[in-house]
Amino acid sequence: MKILVIGGGGREHALVWKLAQSAKADQIYCAPGNAGTAEIATNVPLSDNDIPALLKFASDNSIGLTVVGPEIPLVDGIVDVFKASGLRIFGPDARASILEGSKVFTKELLAKYQIPTADYHRFDDAEAARKFLSTNTTYPIVIKADGLAAGKGVLIITTPEAAEIGIKEIMEDRVFGDAGSEIIIEEFLSGPELSMLCFVDSHTVVPMVSAKDYKRIGEGETGLNTGGMGAISPNPLYDQELEDHCLTMIIEPSLAGMRQEGRPFKGILYCGIMLTESGPKVLEYNVRFGDPETQVILPRLETDLVDIFEAIIDDRLAEVAVKWDEQTAATIVLASGGYPESYPKGLAISGLEQVSGSTVFHAGTKIANNSIVTSGGRVLTVTSMGATVEAALQLSYANAEKIEFEGKTIRTDIGS
Ligand code: AMP
Ligand code: GLY
């Protein structure tokens, strides 16, 4: 079978790497891919948002399975468009992808079906939001743009002045475009975070092994939010009791609610959860694999990923025994200097050939003049497996040190 993976980050390199292990995968294409996917697949120079061009490529090349990495094409309805042309594609349709596409929709769903989440108010008018905040006396408080904002649409607000700036930038200056035509103002929650990812078809939910993502740029979870600077799997706080609790109290009622609303979900459901003193609460839903969580989850998957994706498309997930490696996985992100703000691109990367015992997943890299250069904020992720998290981390850090590019930035406290 010919397989097309859409996207070009570390998550997509990990997806291509895992799919390539399947005996069913004859040829894999990645659009647009990166320098890492180019080593094991054929990169196709198409944007991951260009649905008509991707559809034409898949039809012209008899692609038997398309796998979508990022959220934007899912929210824009790529699954609906491919299915309408008779092409097999893995992921939720546009009606179900609203779980990530609209935070207002998701908060209303969670409230309607009594699923634990932060208390909130929604506003489509900046003046009404200001009026509400003028009576607010407790900080921090959280402001979220309704729509997709590349992970930047969540503001933790600690002063009335910052709240005013946030409302002005999101709702009036529209720094996130139409994603800011409505906002949520919600209660600040505290506690450790958990990423819970599940395989979902119309009848069955299979939770994956757990992961913990390290989101801030600075040591000790300080500084700006990033896409994620490292991850470990399993999450040390996770056990069977917590999994059962999250499935019964959060995941299953959310999926039942989606069916009730005429928006049945299938694909990858990613729930961001905060373990608060009053129990686990939903922070957000994503409708895709996480990045860098995928780089620690897929290396632990023993089952053929093509079989799992095909079973989900055909609603046969219950028939597949999904098996995991007991070892721990850890990944360290090598980011560009300046990330998550502005950073240079096109810098030479050296030392990749010296890595041993770890798998390097490329994120923001490309090939220029026959050599590998930086092309994004998160450049590479170095994943290792180990009997303990310490062993996996030690190997990843040792290999991360062998790789060089100007401004290379890593967090030295992943796993803590
Ligand atoms: P989200 O994109 O909604 O997951 O938000 C990104 C990050 O913001 C989360 O991983 C949390 O660290 C933080 N966050 C989101 N909502 C809240 C909240 N209500 N209270 C505290 N932190 C939050
Ligand atoms: N690592 C967070 C995300 O993929 O949304």
- Which protein residue has the closest C-alpha to ligand 2 atom 3? 290
pLDDT for res 225: 85
pLDDT for res 410: 97
Pocket test for ligand 2, best of 11, 103, 226, 270 (most atoms within 8 A of CB): 270
- When divided into structural domains, the chain yields a total of 4
pLDDT for res 227: 87
- Residues near 285 by Cβ (< 8 Å), separated by ≥ 6? 99, 100, 106, 254, 269, 270, 271, 272
pLDDT for res 137: 78
Tokens representing 263 are 């928006």
Tokens representing 233 are 């799997």
Are both 212 and 244 inside the same structural domain? Answer: yes
pLDDT mean over 4-25? 98
pLDDT for res 9: 97
State pLDDT tens for residues 283-300. 999 999 999 999 999 999
Tokens representing 96 are 């179900």
The CATH number of whichever domain residue 6 belongs to comes to 3.40.50.20
pLDDT for res 124: 94
pLDDT mean over 384-394? 97
Q: Is the CB of 100 under 6 A from ligand 2?
A: no
Are both 384 and 351 inside the same structural domain? Answer: yes
Are both 174 and 234 inside the same structural domain? Answer: no
Are both 204 and 289 inside the same structural domain? Answer: yes
- For residue 351, the CA-to-ligand 2 centroid distance in Å is 27
pLDDT for res 352: 97
In a domain, 352, yes or no: yes
- Which protein residue has the closest C-alpha to ligand 1 atom 5? 154
Pocket test for ligand 2, best of 74, 196, 213 (most atoms within 8 A of CB): 213
**In which residue are the tokens 């989101």 written?**
215
Q: Using DSSP, state whether 80 is helix, strand or coil.
A: helix
CA distances from 409 to 219, 340, 341, 350 (A): 11, 11, 13, 15
In this predicted structure, the answer to whether residue 229 has a pLDDT above a threshold of 80 is yes
Atom of ligand 2 nearest to the CA of 286: 5
Pocket test for ligand 2, best of 154, 197, 293 (most atoms within 8 A of CB): 293
State pLDDT tens for residues 176-227. 999 999 999 999 999 988 989 999 999 999 999 999 999 899 999 898 888 8
In a domain, 416, yes or no: no
pLDDT for res 136: 80
Question: Residue 259: which pLDDT band, with cuts at 50, 70 and 90?
Answer: very high
Whether 165 contacts 231, CB under 8 Å: no
Tokens representing 195 are 């990423």
The CATH number of whichever domain residue 301 belongs to comes to 3.30.470.20
Question: Residue 416: which pLDDT band, with cuts at 50, 70 and 90?
Answer: confident
Are both 82 and 57 inside the same structural domain? Answer: yes
The CATH number of whichever domain residue 157 belongs to comes to 3.30.1490.20
In a domain, 119, yes or no: no
In a domain, 99, yes or no: no
pLDDT mean over 397-402? 98
In this predicted structure, the answer to whether residue 20 has a pLDDT above a threshold of 80 is yes
**In which residue are the tokens 């034409």 written?**
56
pLDDT for res 151: 77
In a domain, 369, yes or no: yes
In a domain, 113, yes or no: no
pLDDT for res 258: 98
pLDDT for res 41: 98
Question: Residue 152: which pLDDT band, with cuts at 50, 70 and 90?
Answer: confident
**Which residues are near ligand 1 (CB < 6 Å)?**
118, 142, 154, 156, 186-189, 193, 215, 272, 283-284
pLDDT mean over 28-38? 98
Q: Is the CB of 293 under 6 A from ligand 2?
A: yes
Q: Using DSSP, state whether 248 is helix, strand or coil.
A: helix
Atom of ligand 1 nearest to the CA of 103: 3
- Which protein residue has the closest C-alpha to ligand 2 atom 5? 290
State pLDDT tens for residues 57-80. 999 999 999 999 999 999 999 999
* Percent helix, percent strand, percent coil in the chain, to nearest 5: 35, 30, 40
Structural domain that includes position 73: 2-93
- For residue 32, the CA-to-ligand 1 centroid distance in Å is 30
Are both 203 and 300 inside the same structural domain? Answer: yes
